[in-house]
Amino acid sequence: MTISNSEIAAIFEQLADLLEIRGENHFKIIAYRNAARTIENLGADISKMIDDGVNLPKIPTIGEHIAQKVKEIITTGKLSKLEDLKRSFPPHFIDILSIKGIGPKRAGTLYEKLHIDSLEDLREAAQNHKIRDLEGFDEKLERMILDGTKLSKKEGKRFMYSVAEPYADALIAYLKKSEEASKVIVAGSYRRKKDTVGDLDILATSKHPALLIDYFVKYPHIKEIISKGDTKSTVIFKNNMQIDIRCVPDDSYGAALHYFTGSKPHNISIRKMAIEMGLKVNEYGIFKGEEKIAGATEDEMYKTVGLCYIEPELRENRGELEAARDGKLPKLIDLKDIKGDLHIHTLYSDAQNSILEMAEAAKKLGYEYIAITDHSKHLAIVNGIDEKKIRQQIEEIDKINEKLNGITLLKGVEVDILEDGSLALPDHILKGLDIVVGGVHDKFKLSQDKQTKRILKAMDNQYFNILAHPTGRLLGERKAYDIDMELLFEEAKIRNCFLEINGQPKRLDLDDIYAKSAKEAGVKFILSTDAHNIATLDYMRYALFQARRGWIETKDVINTLPLDKFKKALQRS
């Protein structure tokens, strides 16, 4: 593992930001942003694609010029053009762009008018109310900026699960090559499948732990060794991700795995239960007095305190201990339960593959059906489909369905929910589709009352089936918009509308907490990928992780149904 797609995309985004601040060619800036978006959503490791002989310039928005820069980044870990550009700015100026509400234009204004070139300068200016009177700013934005600077001090660096995943996979593969490693696993929040992780906690068993630690610290992606002992070590990767490894004996593996998987509240509750039984729990096992009575497996750890095994995704102290005690744990949904993907884009809007290519790829995944749901034309940036294009697409889908056996293509659309709650396509078009996915793509800052009414009015449309990415969040970029979620769940159930759990790595929306609440309110879900190419059909696993963390079972998800029953489930009550 050298550098991830997300990190390559971030380099191009940062290059575009600095070029925009410098007032460089607008089309060049757009080209870098489009390339960043494409690379981040490829769904396959771009460095591996190069090794496999893929011709990068043939990928839409890449081209020869950017392909050369991608190869430079993969080879050297950085981009010389960006490094040169950075040197023309103050050392900490770029940090300002990490604060919500500050883009390149506003960062340039802050630097030009107030000479702000660091987060500390920004915080001080916001505290002293120096920002609100600048053109393009106001009091509300100033407060948001101040909150952002405070938040940046409190939060450590976190990585999206999808960014951490290839690093975790590569490191585990490396460790398993060592003769000194018996069991090797990633624990912590990564094992619990949280949407972001702060670091990676590696747990291993070995007869010669010191030798395994010696092997570990030779891993080529390490930038700095923080500590190194006979049984544990902490290092920093070149992307500033912290890795902690701990070696334990086989007879303590289950106890250590439970302890280092967490969560902390879950573990504390287990310890309290054990104390009430006259037992002691720690990372080495469960003890009755001085006698160790459990610890080799997680299963025996739970059984010893009177519980059945609890899946890692549920270990957040949200009622799982009580459910385990009473035999009421959910039977969590599995990837093999999914019969189809209901949020897929093609060349008809902003994606990179044809309908046929997406269908053939989905067939290989074993799906019984998929829905083609290209964007409606409301947002020009996504090159959406209008009525004419939809009719063309319907004809193409009909022809493919006649020829392609083993999978059925459903006719659909991802239609924009307008500010007033109407849909961006007329009913006579929606009526002719099998499935209508509605989504909010603008006006994110409406009041809770207006945003909630907007969505509920859209759901009133008799052809509306699924609310896409219901809260609109983008991890690390945009908070969820303000909605009365309790009312949304109630009204979705009444209307027989379904809520999406979107597997796009920056969305993962609904999140796990809302998913659990929606389930408890009786709402049904669909799991989907929001795929924009054949590789990102694999994003279904990220939707699955969110669903499992939200206690979702197969019966809660309608795209686990066979096609005939799925179509019946779509019918509005």
Residue 23: what are its φ and ψ, rounded to 5°? 75, 30
- Is 125 inside a domain boundary? yes
Q: Are 298 and 183 in contact (CB under 8 A)?
A: no
Q: Tell whether 116 and 134 lie within a shared domain.
A: yes
Q: Helices marked H in 186-312 — which ranges? A: 188-191, 209-216, 253-261, 264-276, 298-304
Nearest to 168 by CA among 146, 145, 188, 147: 188
Q: Tell whether 358 and 303 lie within a shared domain.
A: no
AA letter at 487: L
Q: Tell whether 407 and 500 lie within a shared domain.
A: yes
- Is 9 inside a domain boundary? yes
- Is 254 inside a domain boundary? no
**What is the pLDDT, as a whole number, of residue 115?**
86
The CATH number given to whatever domain includes residue 167 is: 3.30.460.10
**What is the pLDDT, as a whole number, of residue 113?**
87
Structure confidence by residue, pLDDT tens digits, 522-558:
999 999 999 999 989 999 999 999 999 999 999 999 9
Which phi-psi region, left, alpha or beta, contains residue 58 (left: φ > 0; alpha: ψ -120 to 50)?
Answer: alpha
Q: Confidence class of residue 37 from pLDDT cuts 50, 70 and 90? A: confident
Q: What's the token pair of residue 318?
A: 């949200």
**What is the pLDDT, as a whole number, of residue 239?**
84
**What is the pLDDT, as a whole number, of residue 151?**
60
Is residue 379 over pLDDT 70?
no
Of the candidate ranges 179-188, 314-323, 345-354, 420-429, the one whose mean pLDDT is the lowest:
345-354
**How far apart are the C-alpha atoms of 42 and 231, rounded to whole Å?**
39
Residue 553: what are its φ and ψ, rounded to 5°? -110, 170
What's the predicted TM-score (pTM) here? Answer: 0.84
Average pLDDT over every residue of 69-89: 88
**What is the pLDDT, as a whole number, of residue 337?**
97
Nearest to 382 by CA among 350, 352, 354: 350
Q: Tell whether 414 and 533 lie within a shared domain.
A: yes
Is residue 155 over pLDDT 60?
no
**What is the pLDDT, as a whole number, of residue 171?**
96
Q: Confidence class of residue 573 from pLDDT cuts 50, 70 and 90? A: low
Structure confidence by residue, pLDDT tens digits, 445-495:
899 999 999 999 999 999 999 999 999 999 877 889 999 999 999 999 999
Q: Tell whether 200 and 304 lie within a shared domain.
A: no
Q: Are 254 and 294 in contact (CB under 8 A)?
A: yes
Which range of residues forms the domain containing residue 22?
Answer: 5-154
**What is the pLDDT, as a whole number, of residue 42?**
78
Structure confidence by residue, pLDDT tens digits, 159-191:
999 999 999 999 999 999 999 999 999 999 999
Of the candidates 325, 348, 375, which is a domain's last residue? Answer: 325
Q: Which residue has the tokens 């506003």?
A: 106
Is residue 382 over pLDDT 70?
no
**How far apart are the C-alpha atoms of 128 and 130, rounded to whole Å?**
6
Q: What's the token pair of residue 108?
A: 């340039």
Residue 417: what are its φ and ψ, rounded to 5°? -90, 115
Q: Tell whether 456 and 484 lie within a shared domain.
A: yes
Of the candidate ranges 255-269, 320-334, 378-392, 447-461, the one whose mean pLDDT is the lowest:
378-392
Q: Tell whether 241 and 358 lie within a shared domain.
A: no
**What is the pLDDT, as a whole number, of residue 486?**
95
Q: Which residues contact residue 307 at a Cβ distance below 8 angstroms, ignoring those fewer than 6 apart?
A: 273, 321, 324, 325
**How far apart are the C-alpha atoms of 557 and 524, rounded to whole Å?**
6
**Of all residues in the chain, what percent carry a pLDDT higher than 90?**
67
The CATH number given to whatever domain includes residue 516 is: 3.20.20.140
Count the domains in the chain: 4
- Is 258 inside a domain boundary? no
- Is 255 inside a domain boundary? no
**What is the pLDDT, as a whole number, of residue 217?**
96
**What is the pLDDT, as a whole number, of residue 156?**
55
The CATH number given to whatever domain includes residue 135 is: 1.10.150.110
Q: What is the mean pLDDT of the chain?
A: 91
Q: Tell whether 163 and 149 lie within a shared domain.
A: no
Distance of CA 156 to the CA centre of its chain: 18
Pairing outcome for strands 408-416 and 435-439: parallel
**What is the pLDDT, as a whole number, of residue 258?**
97
Structure confidence by residue, pLDDT tens digits, 285-336:
999 999 999 999 999 999 999 999 999 999 999 999 999 999 999 999 999 9
Which phi-psi region, left, alpha or beta, contains residue 319 (left: φ > 0; alpha: ψ -120 to 50)?
Answer: left
Q: Which residue has the tokens 């002719």?
A: 432
Is residue 51 over pLDDT 90?
no
Q: Confidence class of residue 152 from pLDDT cuts 50, 70 and 90? A: low
Q: Tell whether 170 and 62 lie within a shared domain.
A: no
Which residues does residue 438 pair with via DSSP β-bridges, in sequence order?
415, 467
**How far apart are the C-alpha atoms of 303 and 301, rounded to whole Å?**
6
The CATH number given to whatever domain includes residue 319 is: 3.30.210.10
Q: Confidence class of residue 119 from pLDDT cuts 50, 70 and 90? A: confident
Of the candidates 248, 276, 298, which is a domain's last residue? Answer: 248
Q: Tell whether 470 and 375 lie within a shared domain.
A: yes
Q: Tell whether 372 and 478 lie within a shared domain.
A: yes
Nearest to 201 by CA among 137, 286, 262, 139: 262
**What is the pLDDT, as a whole number, of residue 154?**
46
Of the candidates 123, 154, 185, which is a domain's last residue? Answer: 154
Q: Tell whether 496 and 386 lie within a shared domain.
A: yes
- Is 149 inside a domain boundary? yes
**What is the pLDDT, as a whole number, of residue 158?**
84
**What is the pLDDT, as a whole number, of residue 153?**
52
- Is 127 inside a domain boundary? yes
Three-state SS for 54-123 is: CCHHHCCCCHHHHHHHHHHHHHHCCCHHHHHHHCCCCCCHHHHHHCCCCCHHHHHHHHHHHCCCCHHHHH
Is residue 1 over pLDDT 70?
no
**How far apart are the C-alpha atoms of 524 and 146, rounded to whole Å?**
39
- Is 362 inside a domain boundary? yes
